Amino acid sequence: MKQEIQQKYIELQFLNQQIKKVQEQFMFFQQQLAELINLETSLLDMKNIKEDSELFSSLGSGIFVNSKLVDPKNVLVNVGASVLVTKTVEEAIKLIKIQIENVNKSQETIKEELTKAATYSGQLTQELNELASQEQK
């Protein structure tokens, strides 16, 4: 019986590690979703900005540069391998909405995985407790 307890304990430890990894993935997707929503909001705001308007452009890590918007109707979109393609603001918004939808689907899948893993973890914990109490008798 001790061997069975050890096996279940090892399985539970492994499962808890897997749950932690899936939770980290979920957090990553939450971060990504927040960034996409912020980007969508910024693109929607671009519709109200006039040509030659002055604004602050982010260079990253909280550093901004004062700039002048030359073409408020178009944006450059990175399509991979450092290739930039000109898209209208509306096209960019559509792309962002698709990305938001994909991230939401991924989050739902991860939620389902977490629910299944948590349920199984609970079952394993209960089995371990029962085996441990039988061992003590």
pLDDT tens, the chain, 137 aa long: 788 888 988 999 999 999 999 999 999 999 999 999 999 999 999 988 999 999 998 898 999 999 999 999 999 999 999 899 999 999 999 999 999 999 999 999 999 999 999 999 999 999 999 988 887 77
For the domain spanning 2-136, the CATH number is: 1.10.287.370
Residue type, 100: I
All structural domains of the chain with their residue ranges: 2-136
Residue length, the chain? 137
Give the phi and the psi of residue 84 in degrees, each rounded to 5.
-105, 135
Confidence at residue 113, expressed as pLDDT on a 0 to 100 scale: 93
